[in-house]
Structure 1
Amino acid sequence: MTQWIFLAAETATEGGLFDFDATLPLMAVQFLLLAAVLNAVFYKPIGNAIDQRDSYVRTTQAEARERLAKAERLAAQYEQELASARKQAQATIAAAQSEADKLAAGQLAEAQREAQAQREQAQKELEQQKQAAMSSLEQQVDSLSREILQKLLGNLAA
C-alpha cells in the first residue's frame, strides 16, 4: 500500500496541478457516453411519461371545461323551466282563487237571498200571528166590553 502512495506522489509531481494529457478527451468521451446512456435509460422514459401525463391533463381539463359548460347550460335551462313552472303554478293558483272567490260570492249571495226570504217569511208569519192575536184580542175586548156593558146596564136597569 505504501508503494502505491509513493507512486502516486511521483506522478503528481510531473504534471503539476492539472494534467492535460490523454485523460481529458477520455473523460469527455466518458461524459458524453454517460449523458447518452442516461438520456436513453432515464430521461427519455421520464420525458415520455411527462408528455403522456401532460396530454392526459390537457384532455382532462378540456373534458372538464366541456362538462362545466354543459352543466351551466343545463342549469340555465332548468332555471328557465323552473321560472316558467312557477309562473304557471301562480297562474293556476290565481285562477283557482278567482274561481273560489266567485263560487264563495255566489254562495254568499244565495245564502243572503235565502236569509232574506226566510226573514220575510218570518215577518209575514209574525204579521199573520199579530193580526190573528189582534182579532182575537178585539173579540175578547168586544166580549168583555159587552159583559161590562151588560153588567153596568143590568145594574142600572134593575
Structure 2
Amino acid sequence: MSCTATIASSLSFTSTTCRRVIRPLPAIRMSAEDSDRPSLGRPLLPPPFRLLTFRSLPIAAAVALATSPLPALAEQIEKAALFDFNLTLPAIAIEFLLLMVALDKIYFTPLGKFMDERDAAIRGKLTDVKDVSAEVKQLEEQAAAVMKAARAEISAALNQMKKETTEELEKKLAEGRKRVEAELAEALQNLERQKDETIKALDSQIAALSDEIVKKVLPSV
C-alpha cells in the first residue's frame, strides 16, 4: 500500500470539504472609530473556523480519512498499491536489511563466535596432543636410555659373574687336581712299598724252598 496516495486523497477530500463549509462572508461595515484602527489584512472567520489553520491540516486529514467512504478509500488504496512502486521497493529493501541485521545479531554472530571458540578449542587440543606427543617421545627416549643402561649393567654383571665363576671353578679344579695328584702319588708310593715287601717276602720264601729242595736232594745223594 502507498502512503503517498492515501494522504493525497485525504487532503483532496479535506480541501473539498473546507471549500463547501467556508462560504464568503458578508461585507463588514466599519464605523468611523474602526477606520482609525490599522487593518490586519485578512478577513475575520467565525469562531468555529478560526482553529482551521495550516497546523491543523493533518488533524483534518485524519478526520476526513476516518469519515471518508470505505469502498472508495479501499479502491484508491488498491490503485495506489498497483501503480506506485516508489515506496514499496525501499520498504522491501529496508525490511531485507533489517532482517539481515537481525539474523546477523541473532544467528550469524553467535554461530561465528561458537565456530571460533570451537576452532580455538580444537587448536588447543591439537597443541596439547602435540605437547603430549613430545612428552611421550621424551619418555620413550628416557625409557630407551634406561633400558640401554640396564642392559649394559646386566651385561657387565653377567660378565663379572662369569669371570668370578670361572675363576672359582679353575681354583676348585686346581685344588682337586692337586688333591688327586697327591692321592695318586701316595697310592703309587703304597704300591711301590707293597711291591717291595712282596718281593722281599717272595725272596725269603724262594730261599726257604731252595734250602728245603737242597736238603731233600742232598741226603739222597
What TM-score do you get using the length of structure 2 for normalisation? 0.61
After TM superposition, list the pairs within 5 Å mapping 1:111-130 onto structure 2: 111-130=176-195
- Which of 118, 124, 132 is the equivalent residue of 1:59? 124
> What is the aligned partner in structure 1 of residue 163 from structure 2?
98
The offset of 1:20, in angstroms, is: 4.4
1:60-100 CA-to-partner distances (Å, cap 9, x unmatched) read 11111111111111111121121111111101110110011
Shift, 1:21, TM fit:
3.8
- Structure 1: how far apart are the matches of 2:106 and 2:195? 128
CA RMSD in angstroms comes to 1.8
Specify the code of the residue in structure 1 equivalent to 2:178: R
* Unaligned stretches of 5+ residues in structure 2: 1-74
Match of 2:137 in 1: 72
Aligned pairs for 1:3-152 within 5 A:
20-152=85-217
Extract structure 1 runs of 4+ deviating beyond 4 A: none
TM-score by length of 1: 0.84
Partner of residue 3, structure 1: none
- Deviations, residues 76-131 of structure 1 (Å, cap 9, x unaligned): 11211211111111011101100110110011011111111111111011111111
Return the alpha-carbon distance in structure 2 between the equivalents of residues 74 and 99 of structure 1.
36
Answer 1 or 2: higher relative contact order, Cα 8 Å, separation at least 6: 2
Q: How many residues end up aligned between the 2 structures?
A: 143
Provide the C-alpha distance between the structure 2 equivalents of 1:115 and 1:63, rounded to a whole number of angstroms.
75
Gaps of 5+ in 1: 1-6
If you compute each CA radius of gyration, which structure gives the higher value, 1 or 2? 2
Q: Which residue of 1 aligns with 2:14?
A: none
Q: Which structure is higher in helix share?
A: 1
- Give 1:23 shift: 2.0
Q: CA deviation at 1:22?
A: 2.5
